[in-house]
A and B are shown apart, each in its own frame.
Chain A
Amino acid sequence: MNRLMVWLPLGVFAILVGFFFKGLTLDPTEQPSALIGQPVPAFELTDLNTGQLLSRDMLPKEPFLLNVWASWCITCQVEHPYLTKLSEQMPVVGLNYKDTETAAKNWLQKLGDPYALQIFDPTGRLGLDLGVAGAPETFLVDANGVIQLRIQGEVNDRVFAQKNPADA
């Protein structure tokens, strides 16, 4: 019994060190998405560029990125060149989130438009259904339209290499 008592503080200390060590590498702003493994929610919104009515069935039938962005979002500008580069490998669908038509169009004109489709969601309705907390957010959707991955914040080489499943 006494011997146990002697080792107890060390044991408690070791457990605490374990927790704190894990805590060093955790990012508390990063939430697991509730939509991983779920299909993209149904929607009926217009395309920003063509005005055509878009729905879930019109999304690409191959793996694609769904990028939530807005012209008021600074980080979206930062990640834009990287997304443009990625768009050579797989389609990138834009979800223009809580933006105005003119501002969004100007932004695309200025920075380039790598998007295959541009879902215009001025009220943030689809964003809410996707569990978006703020722009930018990027979802990796597989060929069956199921969400495989969510990246909150900027997409770049580091984040993408870290999170991208090897087969995607």
Chain B
Amino acid sequence: MMRKLLGACVLGLSLSVQAAIETYQFDSPEQEARFRQLGYELRCPKCQNQAIGDSDAEISGDLRAEVYRMLKEGATDAEIKDFMVARYGRYVLYNPPLDQQTLVLWFGPAGLLVLGGILVVLRIRQSKKALEEGESQA
């Protein structure tokens, strides 16, 4: 009895999940792959940290539909991204292009690492020198 009930519950759940899935028909597997890729690279403007391909927000659904429409009309990936940036700003790009505004974003972490490395090397050299001086005095 319990098992049957549980089974019914699971079935009910899976049905409601099915209902939320959008069905898009693509011309080619390649087009579908581009749709998915763009879904990963475009960020949902309403959510803090979700891609539109991963978000249940209303606006993400709208943007997915827009990406789909543009793909069908033969737009390139760059055109679709430009379209989104023109409306939602660069916030929508999960993979920001390299330019003056994003220099720190791209090279900041590596720069800090190099700076830290230099400091460590200097420090080691210094203590080595101090040690050698101490030995020669002894």
Chain A positions within 8 Å of B, measured between CB atoms, are 1-2, 5, 8, 28-29, 31-35, 98, 124, 128-134
Is B28 among interface residues, defined by CB-CB distance under 8 A? no
Q: Are A34 and B87 in contact (CB under 8 A)?
A: yes
Task: Tell me the complex Cα distance, A30–B113, Å.
Answer: 31
Given contacts A5-B123, A34-B86, contact A29 B48 (CB under 8 A): yes
B89:A32 contact, CB within 8 angstroms: yes
List chain A residues, Cβ under 8 A from B59.
Answer: 132-134
Determine if B87 and A130 form an interchain contact, defined as CB atoms under 8 angstroms apart. Answer: yes
Q: Given the complex of chains A and B, what is the CA–CA distance between A5 and B120 in angstroms?
A: 11
Given A31-B45, A128-B66, A134-B46, A98:B58 Cβ within 8 A: yes
Interface residues of B in 22-65 (CB under 8 A from A): 45-46, 48, 57-59, 62-63
Number of interface residues of B (CB under 8 A): 20
> Least Cβ distance of A146 to chain B in Å?
16
Is the beta-carbon distance between A131 and B87 smaller than 8 angstroms? yes
B91 and A31 form a contact (CB under 8 A): yes
B122: chain A residues within 8 A (beta carbon) = 1
- Whether B48 contacts A34 by the Cβ 8 Å rule is no
Residues of chain B contacted by A28 (CB below 8 angstroms): 48
Q: A5-B123, A134-B46 given as contacts; is B87 within 8 A of A128 (CB)?
A: yes
Across the interface, do B89 and A134 meet the contact criterion of CB distance under 8 Å? Answer: no
Q: Which residue of B lies closest to A135 (CB)?
A: B58
Is B107 at the interface (CB under 8 A from chain A)? no
A32 to B88, CA, bound (A): 8
Task: Specify which chain A residues have a CB less than 8 angstroms from the CB of B85 in the assembled complex.
Answer: 34
Instruction: Name the residue of chain B whose CB is nearest to the CB of A127.
Output: B62
Q: How far is the CB of B120 from chain A (nearest CB, A)?
A: 11
Check A31/B88 contact, CB under 8 A, given A128-B62, A134-B58: yes
With A1-B126, A124-B62, A128-B66 known to touch, is A33 a contact of B45 (CB < 8 Å)?
A: no
On chain B, the residues within 8 Å of A34 by CB distance are 85-90
Having A124-B62, A132-B59, A133-B88, one finds 19 other A-B pairs with CB under 8 Å, namely A8-B119, A29-B48, A31-B45, A31-B89, A31-B91, A32-B89, A32-B91, A34-B86, A34-B88, A34-B89, A34-B90, A128-B66, A128-B87, A129-B87, A131-B87, A133-B45, A133-B59, A134-B58, A134-B59
Inter-chain contacts of B91 with A (CB < 8 A): 31-32
Candidate in A28, A33, A133, A134 with the most chain B CB atoms within 10 angstroms: A133
**Can you report 26 A-B residue pairs in the complex whose CB atoms are below 8 A from each other?**
A2-B126, A5-B123, A8-B119, A28-B48, A29-B48, A31-B88, A31-B89, A31-B91, A32-B91, A34-B88, A34-B89, A34-B90, A35-B87, A98-B58, A128-B87, A129-B87, A131-B45, A131-B87, A131-B88, A131-B89, A132-B59, A133-B46, A133-B59, A133-B88, A134-B46, A134-B57
